[in-house]
A and B are shown apart, each in its own frame.
Chain A
């Protein structure tokens, strides 16, 4: 299936979880938050939330700003 992770298309195995999608970018689990299709997925649910084809995954962290 295809996912859009931070704006880039990724071909991934069916059933990839949010936790696995985050691991394609970083090994960090703190200071990071995830939204799937504009809904926040709480960290406690990363392992158990399976993604579906065409999902938009946004992985955000804090940067210098403001």
Chain B
């Protein structure tokens, strides 16, 4: 089987889902089911005594592995503490490391991210860092012991697709760990393109949770990731400037 393998763990789905932006847990539950995902991110926040239901219950009932993130952290110190709290609360040493530089762009801060990654790897975490589409940083994070790298296609929630496909290809070419395209996916063709470029998986949330019909978009993403993966493995034809007849005029 064509499994996704991260840190020795196998997943038959190459679509990793986020849970942000869903209007309700019911809508989220239906979307996760339609997506076929086996790995899904959650954020860590102050406990709200008034909150009803929990995203953790939804994931548990669907048998989906939980991947806590460090969303909302601006420094390596914050991210390390959040990862440790997540490990304590959820019983997993996996963490999607996310250290953002500012609220307006939500772009990842490379310096703080690298610092946090080194500290978390040393502390025994399985670290999946969210980064810009920077091949040099991706390589350094792999050398630092990260279990995957997660370059963005475009800013979080922007739906702008993959702004620099060339850099994503450079990251894929050099990587010895899974490359997971994270952030920026707007619609199914973006997810297919990520896989055609050679990414091992796609992580998305908003494109599904804020679609007019989240469950239908989730199903579309599932198919797009599969189609993109197959196309990558099949090997696309080279691009040509001029036509090439598929039926020669002379035998």
A66 near B71 with CB under 8 A, answer: yes
Give the residues in chain B near A42, CB-CB below 8 Å: 88
A32 near B89 with CB under 8 A, answer: yes
Task: Tell yes or no: B68 within 8 A of A by CB.
Answer: yes
Stretch at the interface among B18-26, B113-121, B214-222: B18-26
B84 near A60 with CB under 8 A, answer: no
In the docked arrangement, what's the CA distance between A26 and B54, Å?
A: 13
Stretch at the interface among A9-17, A33-41, A47-55: A33-41
Give the residue of B18, B54, B81, B84 whose beta carbon is less than 8 angstroms from that of A66. Answer: B18
Task: Tell yes or no: B234 within 8 A of A by CB.
Answer: no
In the docked arrangement, what's the CA distance between A26 and B90, Å?
A: 16
Task: Tell yes or no: B172 within 8 A of A by CB.
Answer: no
Interface flags, B81-104, vs A, CB<8A=1, else 0: 110111111100000101000000
A62 near B55 with CB under 8 A, answer: yes
A31 near B88 with CB under 8 A, answer: no
In the docked arrangement, what's the CA distance between A62 and B28, Å?
A: 15
B85 near A65 with CB under 8 A, answer: no
Task: Tell yes or no: B47 within 8 A of A by CB.
Answer: yes
B49 near A62 with CB under 8 A, answer: no
Interface flags, B46-75, vs A, CB<8A=1, else 0: 110101001110000000001111011000
Give the residues in chain B near A25, CB-CB below 8 Å: 47, 49
In the docked arrangement, what's the CA distance between A43 and B44, Å?
A: 17
A60 near B47 with CB under 8 A, answer: yes
A31 near B81 with CB under 8 A, answer: no
Nearest B-chain residue to A6, judged by Cβ: B46
B54 near A61 with CB under 8 A, answer: yes
B205 near A66 with CB under 8 A, answer: yes
In the docked arrangement, what's the CA distance between A9 and B1, Å?
A: 55
A64 near B55 with CB under 8 A, answer: yes
Decide: A31 near B90, CB < 8 A? Known: A65-B18, A66-B71: yes
Nearest B-chain residue to A39, judged by Cβ: B81
Task: Tell yes or no: B236 within 8 A of A by CB.
Answer: no
In the docked arrangement, what's the CA distance between A66 and B40, Å?
A: 9
30 residue pairs A–B, Cβ–Cβ below 8 Å:
A25-B49, A26-B47, A32-B47, A33-B88, A33-B89, A34-B88, A35-B85, A38-B81, A59-B47, A60-B45, A60-B47, A60-B85, A61-B47, A61-B54, A61-B89, A62-B42, A62-B43, A62-B44, A62-B66, A62-B90, A63-B44, A64-B21, A64-B25, A64-B42, A64-B43, A65-B18, A65-B43, A65-B71, A66-B41, A66-B205
